[in-house]
Chain A
Amino acid sequence: MNPNSWISKIRSWLSLFEQDTQIENLEKKWLYVAGAMIAFFVIILSIGAVVLKVNPPSHWETVDSASLHLGGEFAEDKLGVKPEALDDGTIQVRLVAARYGFYPREIIVPADNKIQFRLASADVLHGAHIPMTNMSTMIVPGHISEVTTVFPKPGEYPLLCNEYCGMGHDHMWSKVTVLSQDDWAKTGGKQP
């Protein structure tokens, strides 16, 4: 086929496309309104993601779920709230999710301080959620989940498993106590 016929073919397609865009005024207005609404949402979320760094937990780091107990950071003696804070003051918490609990079963953390959770599953899929907060992540066997948050309000919170993991799923939860900065300093971060 010679190039001229191609060009004329494309031209006729484009002119037909122009016909398609000739729609009623009212429809056009609504298209603009709908488009603007969606652009508004995406812009707000982009500002959150890029400027404020508010992103869902995403973290490629793999681990052999079958041998967590044999050593490494998810060995039993390494679990729970890490005694020394990280360089930037973040307090690190390591938990193993296994049917049916998050281990250790009780932890105490300070309010108004960055808390970084690192979680691994010893068996199947689990989900971790502390209600009324944005501490939430899926825990996929073979992967380490990492989520960082700040708890503004002291109190006792349940840490619930929110992904079906077997017949005992209803019973899978642990306790998280959030202490005010003062109480945290008084107890010296002592764990139960």
Chain B
Amino acid sequence: MIDTNTKRLALFNFWIAFGSFALASVFGMYQVLERSGLLSFIQSPAVYFASVSTHGVLMAFVLTTFFIMGFGYYTATTSLKMPIWNPTLAWAGYAISLTGVVLAAIPLLLGKASVLYTFYPPIQANAFFYIGATLLVVGSWFWTAIMIVMSHRWKKAHPGATIPLPMFATTVNAYLWAWTSVGVALESVFQLLPWVLGLNDTIDVGLARTLFAWTLHPIVYFWLIPAYIALYAYVPVAAGGKLYSDKLARVAFLMILVFGLPIGFHHLYMDPEQGIIAKFWHMVGTFAVALPTLLTGFTVIASLEMAGRKRGGKGLFGWLGSLPWDNTMVLAAILSLLMLVLGGFGGIVNASYAMNAMVHNTAWVSGHFHLIFAGTVVTMYLALGYHLWPKLCGKKLFSNDLALTQLWTWFVGMAIMTTPWHVLGLLGQPRRISAVHYNSLLTLAWHPYELLMILGGLVLLGSAGLFVYILFKTQTAGAMEASSVEDASIQSAPPVSNWLNNFVPWNLVILALMMLSYGWPILQFFVLKTYNPTAWGY
């Protein structure tokens, strides 16, 4: 039930996403090389910080937002078996987001917005950077509205029926994004834009950091949910089995929605402007949100085991060997889960409130989020790319072997790159330096790890290039294939109660939790006296 217009919409979104991904990988390669200090003639803080700002914006905001929009449109039409509600609105959202990206990219590439992707007031960037970033978010709200309306309409047309799992999770993500983006939208509209346009001379940095933290944590679940949809809906089928528990999957998605939101202060553990009680409360929530991930690990691995046994695997671990390792979706799931285990361990360290002081803002943190985001999440995006391209283009995948090579190299490259970062972080290396200039005995110990990360960067750049090449060849030179109308991954959903088929009660719970978690921490900036700095260049 996917018409030509929807296919085009999905492909247009995906190309912006994966094009940005390939471009950002080139920046990433330059950064490891520059930072290592191996080639003295490319050393330049100005270029490095412009590059790292662009890399962050492209990977974290552009790749993710456009991929999620494209995947959402595909999931909605195929799993609900109804056309896109108001395609004009969908294209308008696409155009607004793309305009935002272009507006932000110009100052970024000119080095006029080297404020990294987390903004950092009172350092001020060119106005177009903030305007562009805001437009990117505004465009994504069109998608949010379309997803919510479609799932609502489907429920009305099918009273008593259960929303299919992929669309249920997509709707969770739409609500999650609506809640998540409010923090950064408030910061942008009431603080950054008036300040950069000259309406306000000063900016309350504590408030800006608090509002950004509101967005900064749940946004990673916005990125993660499509990966989890693949793990729950596509992987068990690709492995030749079925999902172990549909019900538990729904519980996990709802837990992410509810617990993922009110916990942003683990990014502010080391900040002076928030108190111990607020930080402690957010810490408890941070641990609570590990629960849905533990459930996901269990359910997905159980589904893989059932598939492996069905294929003749015996013994405690024999089922692992009999899994179809030559299936891109299955291979991606295994590699993705491996990195999730390692990255999750690092996450427990970061979340640990007091222990975090040892690694805060060190290279450990870059290692952690590259494992979880570039590892776990992006690996599943890549596998979804391989899964969807033949369906969207009506062509056969260019080469399954190349695709498998690409997934393996992405995994190996990420392992080579993030291991030295974790070590460097424990040795105290700050994450956001462009080169090591400290004249200190301790920092000499960093050198060998600096060289190792270059190797990781090289492997990753090759892998990213290969990915885009495979998609491009599939679309332009792939053998024609009658596109399968139905996606076999969409299974009919068993009946569940209203609790697992309805979002109203959960949104009310979130409202209460958000008031509890962010009420006073935001109000204090209006009640207590603050001194706000003026703008600074860099």
Q: Which residues of A contact B (CB under 8 A)?
A: 13, 16-17, 19-20, 23-24, 26-27, 30-31, 34-35, 37-38, 41-42, 45-46, 48-49, 54-66, 123-125, 127, 129-146, 156-158, 160-171, 173, 175
Contact = CB atoms under 8 A, between A and B. Distances in A.
B427 to A, nearest CB: 6
Nearest to B266: A56
B440 interface: yes
Given A45-B353, A167-B45, A38 B120 contact: no
B205 interface: yes
B116 interface: yes
Contact of A158 (B204, B352, B438): B438
B440 A60 contact: no
Interface residues of B, number: 79
B531 A62 contact: yes
Contact of B428 (A17, A160, A167, A169): A160
Contact of B287 (A41, A65, A140): A41
Given A55-B276, A137-B270, A167 B538 contact: yes
A45 B531 contact: no
B9 to A, nearest CB: 35
Given A164-B116, A170-B433, A170-B435, A59 B272 contact: yes
A162 B360 contact: yes
B287 A38 contact: yes
Contacts of A164: 49, 116, 120, 123, 432
A169 B432 contact: yes
A3 to B, nearest CB: 20
| Among all A-B residue pairs, the 3 with the closest Cβ atoms | A131-B428, A16-B497, A162-B430
B284 A19 contact: no
A16 B298 contact: no
A125 B295 CA distance: 39
Contacts of B419: none
Interface stretch (B102-110, B149-157, B324-332, B522-530): B522-530
Contact of A143 (B272, B284, B290, B441): B272
Contacts of A24: 245
Contact of A142 (B116, B432, B533): B533
A13 to B, nearest CB: 6
B440 to A, nearest CB: 4
B402 interface: no
17 contacts: A13-B499, A20-B251, A38-B291, A49-B280, A56-B356, A58-B271, A60-B524, A65-B533, A124-B536, A129-B430, A134-B358, A136-B357, A137-B272, A143-B273, A157-B442, A166-B123, A170-B437
A141 B361 contact: no
B128 interface: no
Given A142-B206, A143-B206, A160-B430, A167 B272 contact: no
A163 B272 contact: no
A138 B352 contact: no
A13 B497 contact: yes
A45 B352 contact: yes
Contacts of B443: 158
B361 A162 contact: yes
Given A23-B248, A56-B279, A131-B428, A35 B291 contact: yes
B27 interface: no
Interface of B: 45-46, 49, 116, 120, 122-123, 204-206, 209, 245, 247-248, 251, 268-276, 279-280, 283-284, 287-288, 290-291, 294-295, 298-299, 302, 348, 352-354, 356-358, 360-362, 427-438, 440-443, 496-500, 524, 528-534, 536-538
A31 B297 CA distance: 12
A137 B356 CA distance: 11
A58 B361 contact: no
Query: Quick one: which of A42, A124, A158, A166 has the most chain B CB within 10 A?
Result: A124
A156 B439 CA distance: 12
Given A13-B498, A45-B352, A58 B276 contact: yes
A20 B272 contact: no
Nearest to B429: A131
A147 B275 CA distance: 13
Given A60-B275, A66-B534, A142-B530, 12 more contacts: A37-B294, A38-B291, A55-B353, A56-B276, A129-B360, A140-B206, A143-B273, A163-B432, A164-B49, A164-B432, A167-B538, A170-B436
A129 B361 contact: yes
Contact of B45 (A34, A125, A156, A170): A170
B46 A167 contact: yes
A49 B282 CA distance: 14
A31 B295 contact: yes
B273 to A, nearest CB: 5
B430 A127 contact: yes
B427 A131 contact: yes
A162 B366 CA distance: 13
A54 to B, nearest CB: 4
Contacts of B49: 164, 167
Nearest to B501: A16
A60 B273 contact: yes
Contacts of B442: 131-132, 157-158
A167 B532 CA distance: 23
Contacts of A158: 438, 440, 442-443
